[in-house]
Structure 1
Amino acid sequence: MEDVVLSTTQAPQSNSRLQHWLVPSIRDSALGESLMKKMRRNGFTLVELLVVIAIIGVLVGLLLPAVQAAREAARRMSCSNNFKQIGLALHNYHSAYNKLPAQKGGTNNANDGSLGGNQLRLGWLPTILPFIEQQGLWEQISHPLAINTDGTLRTTPWPGMGPAPWRTDYTPWITELAALRCPSDPGTGLPALGRTNYAACQGDAVEYGEVGAWSGSNPLVMNSGYAEQIRISGRGMFVARQYTGFRDVLDGLSNTIAAGEIATDLGDRDIRTAPIDGPGSAVLRDNPSWARDNDKIDPERPQFWRAGENLTTDNAAGDGTRASWARGFHWADGEMQHSGMNTILSPNSETVSRTTADSTWGMYPPSSRHQGGVHVLMGDGAVKFITDSIEAGNSRAHTVYKDHNPGNAGTQSPYGLWGALGTKANKETVSFDSL
């Protein structure tokens, strides 16, 4: 009995001592066993830790795609909003001047090459700058500029409306505008100048689509033969070196594409952004699917060209400029390769230059970094998302051009619903409920 009394007057100093002094009846009971186990545990067991880690891994695996999808949805919405602002700018421009901006306009003065004149090569985007809150940049372009990109002063200033749009020593041409970029497109930096993800729609035909009704150089002059050609093949809302207006869109503004989205090149030989050197006019205009039919595309990686195929971005001997001849690399350049698109091949299909240059027509469908399709801007300012699987007729049918059957200006598009959306006056009414 004295031993028991003694145990209550001395405080135990550790778990083991506590266990020793516990009353035997308590220590040996189920309650005592549970109590002792709790006193011996100081943390997780290895199995428990692995289970927790596995649960966290599963949760991350489930949530990460949802987070990425939410971010892409936000980027896609931002891209759509950019396009809506461009559409609003086009309408404000048309309200001010009763016409749309020219795709390939600018200066055409004799001997202005010595001053860096642009020879009617500016695209549709520079002249809408004041309507997208870029008045400062527009002032630099529209007035003579006496400074180079490196800060040095020029003895002879750059002329108003700027030099050729590929000049890297003219600050406005290398300026990149967030309003012209899709947030889903990661392309940035050299060899591009300022990039753009938005391109003017030039219809579903290609003949003389790069020169319009003009020929020669320094200065260019009107060519009646070219004018007759482009009267038939200039079927889009924008026509090279020619002003158009809403009055010309007989199919209705809500039924006609004004512009489309384009992905910019990442230097990875992507068929959508690095055009392949084409076979010449006669072959390509009569078979838009020439590249696919001649196995130019890598069968194991169908988004890329085969190794060894010549692209317009491949540098020729002594020619360091070709690296910038990729989609969307010159935001101010009116060449179709840089800021134009057509509705012949379906969205996100291959790009093909007629020859080895960037100053020519070709197969230039819209493209994007969004999943499954592209944004297009309709003539009424609405932005629609067109899927890659849109009905696009026969991609091996020849394009519409003069002296070929069919060769009339109002001929129905051979490229189905997709082609019809790109033409402005073919009496083809389209309902988006069917898309």
Structure 2
Amino acid sequence: HDVMGCFPPLATGPGLAYGSTSSNGTNLATQVGTMVFLTPQLEQQAIWNQINWQTAPQPWVGYQAWANQIPGLLCPSDTGLGPNTMTYTVGTATMTGYQGRNNYKVSLGTTTNDNQNNMTTTGLFANNGRSTMASIVDGTSHTLAFAEMCQGNTGNLAEVIGNRAINVAAGMATMTGYYNTGYATCTATSSGKFYTAAYNTNTGEMQGSRWNDGSAHYSGFTSVLPPNGASCFSTTPDRVWGIFTPSSRHPGGAIAAFADGSTRFVPETIDVMVWQSMGTVQGSEAIDNALAN
């Protein structure tokens, strides 16, 4: 923010005009995520210099910049999945390559429906959006910016932490406030620490598998369900909207970073209304610091 005068977007680039909600374009830069724009600040200038902004759309494999694993994007407490091996088909050609992973996501606030395309969310980040310190009416120390999320657990797809229920669009589309249909629908997909058999938790692309991808489920989180709660995708994985809940292998909660640069351990027992209020930038909620700790 000090360098550019604003926070980076969830996803954007020179191939996507400001104000456009389309995620498809003529070059790579239409789906580049927040962490890519932060590489110089993460002391990864060499990766930034590798990026060719006029490359064909979505070169997910065979592209050296994306194959790099940035150590600072991995949480030591996560079991990890190792390098993400991907197969990508263009015409008749099939390519196999690797992508680096990521445990840290940006806040989309409580926005759920179509949060992979919305240029505005209730949170600090949005697709092709830009926020400034002045945007944060609720105060920087009360507003979520980043949170950790487990990369995924292919060894136990039913585990709530790190995985997700899919095809849950119908009940989440009405997500507009506290304890509403979307909250209840996603909560009902799991029992305790596991998703119920009614929900297909297939592997697809795990949410920690593309550090560079600006799609909401790869780069964003929502403050709808408390940490370590269920995550719910509208359809099968790949450019979906939904509820993306922070998670960690730390006992009892997850670590979040706020817009003022501070970090805090957020317990999974946090009051839901407090948690949802922490995700909004202009909700005008009064948050008791004792409840937020």
TM-score bracket, shorter-length normalisation = 0.7 to 0.9
> What does the per-residue CA deviation read over 1:108-143, in whole Å, with 9 as the maximum and x for residues that have no partner?
279xx897x2362111100111111111111002xx
Structure 2 SS opposite 1:288: helix
Taking the aligned partners of 2:25 and 2:261, their CA distance within structure 1 comes to: 40
Q: Letter of the aligned partner of 1:289 in structure 2?
A: A
Instruction: Return closer, same or farther for 1:287/1:114 CA change in 2, 3 Å cut-off.
Output: closer
Aligned to 1:205: 111
Q: What is the CA-CA distance between 1:162 and the residue it aligns to?
A: 7.6
SS at match of 1:139: helix
Q: TM-score normalised to the size of structure 2?
A: 0.83
1:235 is the counterpart of 2:152: no
Q: Aligned pair in 2 of structure 1 residues 312, 334: CA closer, same or farther (>3 Å)?
A: farther
What is the rounded CA distance, in whole Å, between the counterparts of 2:145 and 2:105 in structure 1? Answer: 9
Unaligned runs of 5+ in 2: 18-23, 87-98, 176-180
In structure 2, C-alpha distance between the alignment counterparts of 1:114 and 1:245, rounded to whole Å: 26
Q: CA RMSD in A?
A: 2.4
- Which residue pairs with 2:21 in the alignment? none
| Equivalent residue runs for 1:17-32 within 5 Å | none
CA distance in 2, matches of 1:114, 1:378: 32
Work out which structure has the larger RCO, using CA pairs closer than 8 Å and 6 or more positions apart in sequence.
2
CA distance in 2, matches of 1:303, 1:336: 24
In structure 2, C-alpha distance between the alignment counterparts of 1:352 and 1:367, rounded to whole Å: 13
Matched, 1:289 2:184: yes
* Superposed counterparts of 1:171-320, under 5 Å: 171-187=64-80, 188-191=82-85, 193-213=99-119, 230=120, 234-267=121-154, 268-269=156-157, 270-281=159-170, 283-284=172-173, 285=175, 286-293=181-188, 296-297=189-190, 299=191, 302-307=192-197, 309-313=199-203
Separation (CA, whole Å) in 2 of partners of 1:356 and 1:200: 21
> Deviation at 1:291?
4.2
Structure 1 residue 164 and structure 2 residue 58: aligned?
yes
Q: 1:264·1:329 contact (CA, 8 Å) conserved in 2?
A: yes
Q: CA deviation at 1:276?
A: 1.6
What SS does the corresponding residue of 1:385 show, helix, strand or coil? Answer: strand
| Residue of structure 1 equivalent to 2:2 | 95
Q: Contact (CA 8 Å) 1:376, 1:386: kept in 2 or not?
A: yes
Q: Distance in 2 between matches of 1:109 and 1:273?
A: 31
- Structure 1, gaps ≥5 residues long: 1-93, 145-158, 214-229, 314-321, 393-415
- Say whether the 8 Å CA contact 1:274–1:312 is kept in structure 2: no
Paired positions, count = 265
- The residue type paired with residue 72 of structure 2 is A
Computing the radius of gyration over CA atoms, which structure comes out larger, 1 or 2?
1
- Which one has the bigger strand percentage? 2
Q: Is the 8 A contact 1:279 1:355 kept in 2?
A: yes
Q: Which residue pairs with 1:428 in the alignment?
A: 285
- C-alpha distance in 2, partners of 1:377/1:420? 15
